A and B are shown apart, each in its own frame.
Chain A
Amino acid sequence: MQAIIPDYRRDLEIRRYPSYVYVLVPLAALVLQAYLPRLLGRFAFMDLPVLVTIYFALNRRSPIHGSILGAVLGMAQDGLTQGAIGIHGIANTVCGFLAASIGIRIVVENNIIRMFLNFLFTLLAGAIVLFVTRILLGLHMQVNWLDEVLRAVGNAVIGLVLFPVLDLTQLRD
């Protein structure tokens, strides 16, 4: 029962990583996200920056850390597109904050929960991108929801493999 108390869990289970992991993993996510569509074409159903944001937010359990990481990664994503800077930034910021907030309250070691969270947050990120583009910017942008769902599924599957690999890089006491 003590395991679900937030402060107790936070004190005991905050995961820390070497500083180079905080640099290399997001950078690798950006590079792969930009490069893999060249190989996979229209079948590149993934959003690696969102996935990395969710991972670090869940494991660090720090909403501030998750928000900042999401903002930086999202703005870097926007920098690679022709759209306005901040569209993906806002989406990833919200996802990072919510993931960290949830990570404080629930056990995130379970693979089913991880898959579900990845699926949910990826869909949420797509919805926020649509909201910002259509409502805040007033741009007419069509959305293919099937692609969004497939991207969420892709992220859930990739997370199933990626999260245990990233777990290996955490610092042990």
Chain B
Amino acid sequence: MESFLSRYRNLIVLLALLVMQVIGLAVQVRKPAAAAAGVPSPGRDQEDGKSVRLIRLWAAALVTPFERAVHGSGQGLDGLWAKYVDLRHTKDENKDLQKTIDRLRLEQASLIEDARQGQRLQELLKFQQNYIYKTLAAQVIGTSGSSQSHVIYLDKGSEDGLARDMAVITSDGIVGKVRAVFPHSAQVLMINDQTSGAGVVLETTRTRGILRGDAAGHTQVINILADQRIQPGEHVLTAGGDQVFPRGLPVGVVESVARDTERSGFIDIRVKPAAELQRLDEVLVITSMQAHLSAQQQADIKDSEELMGAEAAAEAERKKAAAEMEERLPGLKDPSAPDAAKTPGAVNPDGTPVVPVPATPKPLPARHVDRFSPGAKGEDLPASGGDDTTASPDASSPAIRPKTPPVPSRANPAAPGMPTKPQTHPAKPKTPPAKPQGTGVQ
């Protein structure tokens, strides 16, 4: 027996190690299968058992401190250069940023009121919508190191408030969800992993599907019936039904549409992720989708509401005062005068239709009528005024009358020697003088 053990010692150790690991695999596979008796939902995988979690915890505790150190030293070198050496244009940038901050604060004050109003209205309509209220910024410090496993590690953990199934996003789009949380680090399953799943909707066609990754690390939407309307370039958003991602977050853009080789009538949509999944540095973890406003935010909102209430009251006062003033002051308009413009079909006594008089002021009568006066007419200047412009020639008028005989005008060459109307006075009124403005024509 002893000789058998010593002779096959290597093989026995190998088999023992393999059997131990196979049994471990069987236990891990059996537990999720038993736990999955309920309805599985996309994007929600089973939690690890205690022993498996312990191994993950050890592995993370072994690796992440070094990753954090490497990441921190790299950032430290970058920071040393950026913060202490490369400071050109910093003052100008600071000024610009301060202006931007001031502008954004003003915009935020108005937007927050709009958002709250919209949420109140949606609550009234019983909308089941989640809102992002609180996020936590985290640094990506490492990966799983396996091409089959698209997992990243964050430098924040349960002690920072992270929990399983929290959504991880960037300003560009979604990244993944927190899969395992350790005291000082967290494991995030990215959307391009084969085991991930997120409910998505195509923006234009409103087609819903499940987003998952493939072997090459690309993201695709599966289980979609063939639809001619789905074209590359269409935006993909989160559907909000997976209890992980809030609705409406950008996911990516449809890159290509291909027929499903395994199932006829279905298509696979490859999606280009909006977030740069291969080069993530900082991410945001959505830690709360309930309204937990800070004391400062609540105070700001209260001030804003009071301000808006005061403005509304002042506006009401102004309107009331204007109405009272309107009642007390006499109107500028003659209430007895009919408005010709508002009486279509009005006619003059001679049967011609009433033409609305343009609201131009009547020129004052000239004190000394000459050929430049309105209504002046060649030789009979004194008699050619308006009906209310009675000519009163005096001694001065011949002095300004042209002494030379009238020169035949080019405009009237066929009548030489005939008295002509001075060309310098073309604006002879052909219509009777207008009555005072606002009175209309009767």
Contact = CB atoms under 8 A, between A and B. Distances in A.
B257 to A, nearest CB: 19
Contacts of A127: none
Contacts of A68: 13, 17
Interface in B14-71: 14, 17-18, 21-22, 24-25, 28-29, 45, 52, 55-56, 58-60, 62-63, 66-67, 70-71
Contacts, number: 154
B321 interface: no
Interface in A69-115: 71, 75-90, 93-94, 97, 101
Interface stretch (A4-12, A14-22, A134-142, A163-171): A134-142
Given A79-B60, A132-B25, A97 B14 contact: yes
Contacts of A101: 10
A118 interface: no
B21 A147 contact: no
B9 A64 contact: yes
Contacts of B279: 41
Nearest to B276: A41
A144 B216 contact: yes
B21 A143 contact: no
Nearest to A145: B215
> In which size bucket is the chain B interface?
35 or more
B52 A85 contact: yes
Query: Is chain A's interface secondary structure helix, strand, loop, or mixed overall?
Result: helix
A82 B195 contact: yes
A162 interface: no
A81 B151 contact: yes
Contact of B144 (A80, A84, A144, A147): A80
Interface string B53-94: 001101110110011001100000000000000000000000
A80 B66 CA distance: 14
B67 A35 contact: yes
A41 B278 contact: yes
A159 interface: no
A117 to B, nearest CB: 18
Nearest to B25: A86
A124 interface: no
Contact of A30 (B28, B62, B217): B62
Contacts of A34: 63, 67, 142-145, 153
B189 interface: yes
A38 B149 contact: no
B151 A84 contact: no
Contacts of B9: 64
Nearest to A81: B149
A158 interface: no
Contact of B10 (A37, A63, A75, A78): A63
B13 A79 contact: no
Contacts of B55: 75, 78-79, 85
B147 A76 contact: no
B278 A76 contact: no
Contact of B29 (A37, A41, A71, A137): A137
B121 to A, nearest CB: 40
Contacts of A94: 14, 18
Contacts of A41: 278-279
Given A38-B140, A82-B193, A85-B52, A30 B148 contact: no
B194 interface: yes
Nearest to B281: A38
B179 interface: yes
A67 interface: yes
Contacts of A90: 18, 21-22
A151 interface: yes
Contacts of A67: 10, 13-14, 17
Contacts of A136: 22, 25
B123 to A, nearest CB: 37
B66 A143 contact: no
Contacts of A30: 59, 62-63, 145
Contact of B215 (A33, A79, A142, A151): A142
A129 interface: yes
A77 B145 contact: yes
A74 B160 CA distance: 30
Contact of A144 (B25, B56, B215): B215
Contacts of B146: 77, 80-81, 83, 88
A90 B26 CA distance: 13
Interface string A58-69: 000001100110
B59 A76 contact: yes
24 contacts: A30-B59, A30-B63, A31-B66, A34-B63, A34-B144, A35-B141, A38-B280, A41-B278, A42-B278, A49-B145, A75-B21, A77-B59, A80-B56, A82-B180, A82-B187, A82-B189, A82-B195, A83-B146, A85-B21, A90-B22, A101-B10, A137-B29, A138-B29, A144-B147
**Cβ-closest 4 pairs across A and B:** A79-B59, A142-B215, A81-B149, A33-B145
